[in-house]
Amino acid sequence: MLSLRAVNHYYGNQHSLWDVDLDLLPGKCTGVLGLPGMGKTTLANCIIGNLPIESGTMFWHQAGAPPRDLGPIPAANRIALGINYVSQERRIFSQLTVEENLHIARQAVGESETMNSCDIYRLFPQLFVLRQAKGGTLSEDNQHQLALASALVTRPRLLILDEPTRGSGQAYIHKLGNLIVRLSQELGIAIMLAEQSLPFIRRVADCYCLLHRGRNVAQGQITPFGDPLINGWATPEIKR
């Protein structure tokens, strides 16, 4: 679905992503794991088109169509192509109701491409109850659900979640994990999960990519994840 090869990114003179290779596949959840500041958000922003890459390739593969180079495609058009994102900030319109938020999110793609309200509320029953409530009045967890629902109404083929567990309690994290597994296994969505939480990645991801100082230092199926090497990279540097 999406293949990254030798992707490099710089913030000014600071080299932030180094020759990153990554494949994101339909129906699979890929955990992009790394400590704070290792490049997870930068990688997500390069894929969605918020940041330009310096070199390398990002090719979008879709059945029955020739591969497309994402490079020249602006961020707004990448949503129409099937790539959507939930940022760490969980952006929603706080002055608008849940329904209005979802209505605006639908505008990013053609009407025929969107997920209808019944399907969205089936995935997020709590949002149905709160559909007339303003975004700003929702709890943090419900705001995250609304941000996720706003991404899903565009029927993404690739969904990128940036640290979805940050700041949430165990009950919501458990529910979110179940939802992510459903989205990948039942709806066939390719999911890129940028996370610091190794237990969460172990629970929901099929495969992983480990970023360290902008380099992909290990990747593979989730099964060998108990490998001490991986645990070593996932330990804060101060302890290494």
Ligand X SMILES: Nc1ncnc2c1ncn2[C@@H]1O[C@H](COP(=O)(O)OP(=O)(O)OP(=O)(O)O)[C@@H](O)[C@H]1O
- Residues of the shown chain interacting with ligand X in the complex, contacts defined by CB under 6 A: 11, 14, 16, 34, 36-42, 196
Counting every residue, how long is the chain?
Answer: 240
Comparing CB distances to ligand X, the nearer of 42 and 143 is 42
Comparing CB distances to ligand X, the nearer of 40 and 90 is 40
- Least Å distance, CB 9 to ligand X, is 9
Comparing CB distances to ligand X, the nearer of 105 and 218 is 218
Going 22 to 91 to 180 to 119, the CA torsion angle's sign is: negative
The answer to whether 124 and 87 have CB atoms below 8 angstroms apart is: no
Q: Which residue has the tokens 């605006």?
A: 104
Q: Could you give the CA distance from residue 131 to residue 58 in angstroms, rounded to a whole number?
A: 37
Comparing CB distances to ligand X, the nearer of 20 and 38 is 38
- Least Å distance, CB 222 to ligand X, is 19
Q: Could you give the CA distance from residue 81 to residue 69 in angstroms, rounded to a whole number?
A: 12
Report helix, strand or coil for 218. strand
How do strand 190-195 and strand 83-86 relate by DSSP bridges?
unpaired
- Least Å distance, CB 191 to ligand X, is 17
Element (H, E) at 153: none
Comparing CB distances to ligand X, the nearer of 135 and 214 is 214
- Least Å distance, CB 180 to ligand X, is 18
Q: Could you give the CA distance from residue 123 to residue 77 in angstroms, rounded to a whole number?
A: 26
- Least Å distance, CB 79 to ligand X, is 21
